[in-house]
Amino acid sequence: MIFLYLNSDKMGQGEPELGKKLMAAFLRTLAKSDINIDVIGCVNSGINLTTEGSVAIKSLRDLEQKGARIASCGTCLDFHNKRDDLLIGEIGSMDQTVLIMSKADKVIKPN
């Protein structure tokens, strides 16, 4: 199982707007690739990728259509008052994150 762990809506350190563009490009490229992602977990500011205003929704929908299950941290959604803004996937828990990480053959973390 391949787990894509997104703990930020940015890729890399430095200029935040550049980081957001890099993350969007990463997800677009991944969605077009032959790599099969089984689970995508979004935590912390990574939930901005699955909620209203995200520039990555199309890429995430493409990954979902290829079989990826997408979950966003419920605690994070509540902290940022974005539970009602969720556009894709399900609301996940830390228990799920720990279990999936422990069983994953590979964890990809692009930041």
- The reported pTM is 0.92
CATH code assigned at 86:
3.40.1260.10
Domain that holds residue 39: 2-108
Q: Distance (Å, rounded) from C-alpha 65 to C-alpha 2?
A: 16
Mean pLDDT, range 48-52, rounded to an integer: 97
pLDDT at 41 (0 to 100) = 96
**8 A C-beta contact, residue 16 and residue 50:** no
Q: How confident is the model at residue 111 (pLDDT cuts 50, 70, 90)?
A: confident
The pLDDT of 66-95, averaged and rounded, is 96
Which tokens in the block code for residue 107? 């964890």
Question: Within 10 A of 106 (CB to CB), how many other CB atoms are there?
Answer: 11
In the sheet that 69-73 helps form, which strands lie side by side, from edge to edge? 90-92, 69-73, 39-42, 2-6, 106-108
Quote the number of domains for the chain: 1
Q: Per DSSP, which regions of the chain are E strands?
A: 2-6, 39-42, 69-73, 90-92, 106-108
